[in-house]
Structure 1
Amino acid sequence: MTNEEQQEPADGVAGGRALWEDALGMAALRALAHPLRVEIMNELSDFGPATASMLAERLGESSGATSYHLRQLAKHDIIVEDAERGSGRERWWRMAPGGVTIGSPETLDTPAGREANEIISLGWQQNNERRLSAFLRRGLDTFGFEWMESSTLSTSHLELTREQLEEFGREYYALQDRLKKKWKAQEAETDERKRVQVQFNAFPLVEQEDR
Structure 2
Amino acid sequence: MEDRYKISDPQVLKVVAHPLRARMLGLLRSEGPATASELGRRVGESSGSTSYHLRELFKNGFIEEDPERRDGRERRWRARHRYTSWNSRELADTPEGRETVKAMRLLQAGLLARMAEDFDEAEWSPAWVEAAGLSDHLFELTPEALREFAARTEELLEELAARDAGAPDARQVHLWVGGFPRVSDR
If the length of structure 1 is used for normalisation, what is the TM-score?
0.73
Match of 1:160 among 141, 146, 150: 141
Q: Which runs of 5+ in 1 are unaligned?
A: 11-21
Using the alignment, how far apart are the partners of 2:107 and 2:26 within structure 1? 9
C-alpha distance in 1 between matches for 2:152 and 2:19: 32
The alignment status of 1:175 with 2:163, answered yes or no, reads no
* Deviation string, structure 1 residues 3-30 (Cα, Å, up to 9, x no partner): xx9946x9xxxxxxxxxxx324244223
Name the count of aligned residue pairs. 186
Q: Contact 2:8/2:90 (CA < 8 Å) preserved in 1?
A: no
Letter in 1 for 2:111: N
Q: Partners of 2:145 and 2:66 in 1: how far apart?
A: 40
Do structure 1's residue 30 and structure 2's residue 30 form an aligned pair? no
Residue 182 to residue 193, structure 1, CA distance change in 2 (3 Å):
closer
* Partner SS state of residue 203, structure 1: coil
Q: How far apart are residue 31 of structure 1 and its match?
A: 2.8
Q: Counterpart of 2:171?
A: 194
Question: What is the aligned counterpart of 2:83 among 64, 79, 99?
Answer: 99
SS in 2 for 1:99: strand
The answer to whether the 8 A contact 1:51-1:93 is kept is yes
**Structure 1 CA distance for aligned equivalents of residues 90 and 176 of structure 2:** 27
2:58 alignment counterpart: 74
C-alpha offsets along residues 60-98 of structure 1, whole Å, 9 cap, x if unaligned? 211110011111101111122333333223433232225
| TM-score, length of structure 2 as denominator length | 0.82
By relative contact order (CA 8 Å, sep 6+), the higher-ranking structure is 1
Root-mean-square deviation (CA, aligned residues, Å) is 2.7
Gaps of 5+ in 2: none
Answer whether contact 2:7 2:84 (CA < 8 A) is retained: yes
Is the alpha carbon distance of 1:180 and 1:7 closer, same or farther for their aligned partners in structure 2, counting shifts above 3 Å? Answer: farther
Residue of structure 1 in register with 2:185 after alignment: 209
Cα distance, 1:128–1:164 mapped onto 2, change above 3 Å: same
Identity of aligned residues (%): 36
Matched-pair contact (CA < 8 Å) for 1:47–1:195: no
Q: Is the 8 A contact 1:50 1:93 kept in 2?
A: yes
| Partners of 2:88 and 2:178 in 1: CA distance | 19
**Are residues 132 and 173 of structure 1, via their aligned partners in 2, closer, same or farther at CA, if it must alter by over 3 Å?**
same
Shift in CA distance, 43/127, structure 1 to aligned 2, threshold 3 Å: farther
